Structure 1
């Protein structure tokens, strides 16, 4: 089942799944749009919300897995994970939200007992960076610090934009001595060559602050994206209005504007915009290993990456529990996706 199939990314994944001959059930809250897409693709459609976990479990019962594409995942992941655990269905999603990854880890024992895989983050968030983290851990096993990041000029989908607004209100996040701590937005700025030339870059609260720790055990983790001086200054100014951004009516106002104005990048635009992914591991002696890989555009990678994990679960028999993409499928997952170059470590 693909839930949120009527959203920007969900529809892209559903269309590619149908092109491959897969027969997912398409689901979402909005009956009209889900059924219209299902008719076009010759697939079954279901419309239901996530408010009643018992009813949700009944909808999922009988499915091998659910791929949740309905963001923000702060609202959809927890009830869907619960329903999957009750129904015995594997759970995947395409989130990049730290809280969702940590929630999945908190359910690890239940998932193991149920034989259910919980693996959020099977899109661009966080397949490439998770694979880079895993490869760097293998290259420098005693690493104590890990920095990850990516250079992407792709536009936002509506769901990603709404998630970003929530993230601004929650501040920056880094992992320090094994614990996730809240820091200011653009907490650290440094020069980084992600693979397309050296640029100013700032820390962001990316999902790897959670997932890379569970993949590698490295206790200190930061995530970076490039930013112009103006962008970095704007992020730092946002620290002063974070309490305002956290107000529910402000969130609703901004998200309503996003829903009206943000459409997501076209296929032509996605094809013209590859992504450069970078990572750096450092040990206590100051020794470093640096990794880089060029991948497809983030949304294109989300399509192929999520379906690669779906197909892995449909053919393999993994141990139940909370997983990260690199632990579930392997650190070479990103290199096997269309548009990816080799993963180079120096």
Structure 2
């Protein structure tokens, strides 16, 4: 019998948290990954029969096909996504399985969104960015756009409090940062050395030094707003937050030159990611719309704001 969800990377920190929450909500879950022994230890955390285990070889098309066919929705938590997700996406398209990932690498988010026409043609649903970045900042842009028409420029920024420091996150960040500082100027992607363009933004009750980053937030904000000038900033990794909370910021300049701001505050970053991913996965069980989406655009700003311990506040 086909399960509701396959969680690829379930033996890792984020995948394990997502699998636990999906089971808690009553989902039938397959925990999948490359290491059978680690998967067995993960499965042992659940009541007998709550999950099933599937070892997968990401380099083997037959193994990928078996994984994609094991559930209605596949949640991919294995990065770096730019390198590792394309074959998983292809397997899901062939199997007719909805695909969801946590990517926050600019190139990975862009690559998935560029498959929108293919996904619609095949009646498939592909979703990316189901995590604190880029879902938090895009939700803010979407909230601002509900009141304003015509975005000339957008800035988004994050400062994350994380309880975990995982190999997977470090690997994804390292691979993404090799792209350097990226932004959109006059609708064109431009690059500069990482660290160039550092600035100070006030959000989350503090003045924060942030740098432009090649994050998925950049593509999500551009996709949502259509603005020709877009920059995504982040507080340097490891800087943390003094209040133990995670903060996101969006600043939209409209076509009349007026500036509008919004802030999101939530708790620990992995907890927010788990909430976004499980809410999106649940949405994908119920007649998901075809195409390629970001998680925040699929869910909407209101649903993101309703997640546990999360608040969106619009500024001036």
Q: Same fold, TM exceeding 0.5?
A: yes
Q: Is contact 1:150-1:194 (8 Å) kept? A: no
| Superposed CA offset, 1:77-102 (max 9, x none) | 11111111100011101110111111
Aligned match of 2:253: 282
3-state SS in 2 of match to 1:156:
coil
Match of 1:25 among 20, 30, 37: 30
Shift of 1:227: 5.0
Shift of 1:132: 0.8
Q: Say if 1:3 and 1:227 are closer, same or farther in 2 by CA, change over 3 A.
A: closer
Ranges in structure 2 where 5+ consecutive residues have no aligned partner: 1-5
3-state SS in 1 of match to 2:19:
helix
1:318 matches 2:288: yes
Aligned match of 2:310: 340
3-state SS in 2 of match to 1:70:
coil
| Superposed CA offset, 1:95-135 (max 9, x none) | 10111111112211121122211111111122111101111
CA distance in 1, matches of 2:313, 2:285: 26
CA distance in 2, matches of 1:188, 1:308: 35
Aligned match of 1:294: 265
CA distance in 2, matches of 1:202, 1:110: 34
Aligned match of 2:139: 131
| Structure with higher strand content | 2
Shift of 1:332: 1.5
CA distance in 2, matches of 1:66, 1:199: 37
Figure out how many residues of one structure are paired with residues of the other and give that number: 306
Q: Is contact 1:62-1:87 (8 Å) kept? A: no
Q: Say if 1:54 and 1:106 are closer, same or farther in 2 by CA, change over 3 A.
A: farther
Aligned match of 1:108: 116
When structure 1 is superposed on structure 2, of 162-171 and 53-62 the one drifting more is 53-62
**Normalized against structure 1, the TM-score is what?**
0.83
CA distance in 2, matches of 1:53, 1:23: 24
Aligned match of 1:256: none
Shift of 1:19: 2.2
Aligned match of 2:77: 69
Aligned match of 1:57: 65
When structure 1 is superposed on structure 2, of 2-11 and 50-59 the one drifting more is 50-59
CA distance in 1, matches of 2:178, 2:236: 19
CA distance in 2, matches of 1:115, 1:296: 36
Shift of 1:312: 1.2
Shift of 1:345: 3.2
3-state SS in 2 of match to 1:40:
coil
Match of 2:297 among 315, 322, 327: 327
3-state SS in 2 of match to 1:170:
coil
Q: Is contact 2:155-2:230 (8 Å) kept? A: yes
When structure 1 is superposed on structure 2, of 84-93 and 180-189 the one drifting more is 180-189
| Superposed CA offset, 1:257-315 (max 9, x none) | xxxxxxxxxxxx99x72111111001343210010121122111011110000111113
When structure 1 is superposed on structure 2, of 287-296 and 101-110 the one drifting more is 101-110
CA distance in 2, matches of 1:109, 1:284: 29
CA distance in 2, matches of 1:226, 1:121: 19
Shift of 1:190: 2.1
Match of 1:158 among 156, 163, 167: 167
Aligned match of 1:305: 276
Shift of 1:26: 0.5
Shift of 1:62: 4.9
